[in-house]
Amino acid sequence: MITAKILRMSGRPTRRTIARRITAGVVLLTAFTIPLNAQDELVVRGNVAYQEGDFASAIEAYESVLAGGFSSAGLEYNLGNAYFKAGDLARSILHWERARLLAPSDDDVIANLELARSLTVDAIEPLSMFWLVSAVAWWVDLLPRGILIAVVAAGWLCLGGGAMMRILARTDSIAAVGRWTAIGGAVVVVLLGSNLLVRELGIGRPERAVIMVEAVSVRSAPAMDDDLVLFEIHEGTRVRIDERTPEWAEVVLDDGKVGWIPLGVMEAI
């Protein structure tokens, strides 16, 4: 993530200083535009391959974008679609789940996940969620990530601009406008900025994974002993990870069942 640094200046900047800053900004933007353009070309190539029914090439192109460190809800969604068309149910669910993390309210992502889960072997009925937990989850997922970032950035601009307007105002009316603009920006930053912080840091978010193998036995303890087998879960099932050892994880299913499975049979969302 690129963060802007606020520099404290003593005195008014000269025209030459401003020109240097603009030049540095253009160079910085160019440096980030070049790889972005390359990733855009890969996305277009993947989209064309998908439309032509060449799902293997589409997957290769989309995965190359992810390998380059770029991700978005749309990219994860497209990759899930390509894996689904290629017959890989587990990976389609994995990428649609990742898309839902970035765009929790996207109807297409939700619909595809519901379709995919109807095709999995395990018919799991989720437990009802406590109302307070549901309310917090609703608040955290209220806005898509991109919109949330834009709104928080706008809040910071209003806060800073309003404060400057208040300080430099020559009339009481302008000062009042600046004060209320700064207050409005501060409210947005506090309310939605905390929302963004929680989402970006994953505070309170359980670690989840998707089963990637055809079937795996869930055991009562982290050991390869058939006497410890409780039940089986299958490809595409989503689990919550509660504990880890170097080779095992204690997982919880959406219906509350608990047990241990090898780490290698699943991939984190």
Which tens digit of pLDDT belongs to each residue from 3-24?
333 333 334 444 444 334 333 3
Are 184 and 216 contained in the same domain?
Answer: no
CA–CA dist 216, 110 (Å, integer): 26
Q: Which of 42-51, 139-148, 149-158, 214-223 has the lowest mean pLDDT?
A: 139-148
CA–CA dist 159, 157 (Å, integer): 5
Q: Last residue of a domain, which of 86, 118, 150?
A: 118
Domain that holds residue 168: 134-201
pLDDT in tens, 176-191: 999 999 999 999 999 8
pLDDT confidence band for 46 (50 / 70 / 90):
very high
Are 25 and 113 contained in the same domain?
Answer: yes
pLDDT confidence band for 198 (50 / 70 / 90):
confident
pLDDT at 29 over 80: no
Are 54 and 108 contained in the same domain?
Answer: yes
Whether residue 7 is contained in a domain is answered as: no
Mind giving me the DSSP string for 60-108?
Answer: HHHHHHHHTT---HHHHHHHHHHHHHTT-HHHHHHHHHHHHHH-TT-HH
Kindly state the DSSP code that residue 203 receives in the 8-state scheme.
Answer: T
Looking at the structure of the chain, the number of domains it has is: 3
Are 110 and 78 contained in the same domain?
Answer: yes
pLDDT at 27 over 80: no
Whether residue 77 is contained in a domain is answered as: yes
3-state per-residue secondary structure call for the chain: CCCCCCCCCCCCCCHHHHHHHHHHHHHHHHHHHHHHHHHHHHHHHHHHHHHCCCHHHHHHHHHHHHHCCCCCHHHHHHHHHHHHHCCCHHHHHHHHHHHHHHCCCCHHHHHHHHHHHHCCCCCCCCCCCCHHHHHHHHHHCCCCHHHHHHHHHHHHHHHHHHHHHHHHCCCHHHHHHHHHHHHHHHHHHHHHHHHHHHHHHCCCCCEEEEECCCEEEEECCCCCCHHHEEEEEECCCEEEEEEECCCEEEEECCCCCEEEEEHHHEEEC
Whether residue 105 is contained in a domain is answered as: yes
Mind giving me the DSSP string for 208-222?
Answer: EEEE-SSEEEEESSS
pLDDT confidence band for 130 (50 / 70 / 90):
low
Q: Residue 17 has what pLDDT?
A: 41
- How much is the average pLDDT of 148-175? 91
CATH code, domain carrying 47 = 1.25.40.10
Q: Residue 200 has what pLDDT?
A: 77
Whether residue 125 is contained in a domain is answered as: no
Are 189 and 239 contained in the same domain?
Answer: no
Q: Last residue of a domain, which of 118, 146, 168?
A: 118
pLDDT at 250 over 80: yes
Q: Last residue of a domain, which of 145, 166, 201?
A: 201
Higher pLDDT, 39 or 174: 174
Are 74 and 113 contained in the same domain?
Answer: yes
pLDDT at 174 over 80: yes
pLDDT confidence band for 129 (50 / 70 / 90):
low
Are 232 and 260 contained in the same domain?
Answer: yes
pLDDT confidence band for 138 (50 / 70 / 90):
confident
Are 28 and 84 contained in the same domain?
Answer: yes
CA–CA dist 86, 55 (Å, integer): 6
Whether residue 165 is contained in a domain is answered as: yes
Strand, coil or helix: 20: helix
CATH code, domain carrying 234 = 2.30.30.40
- How much is the average pLDDT of 108-128? 89
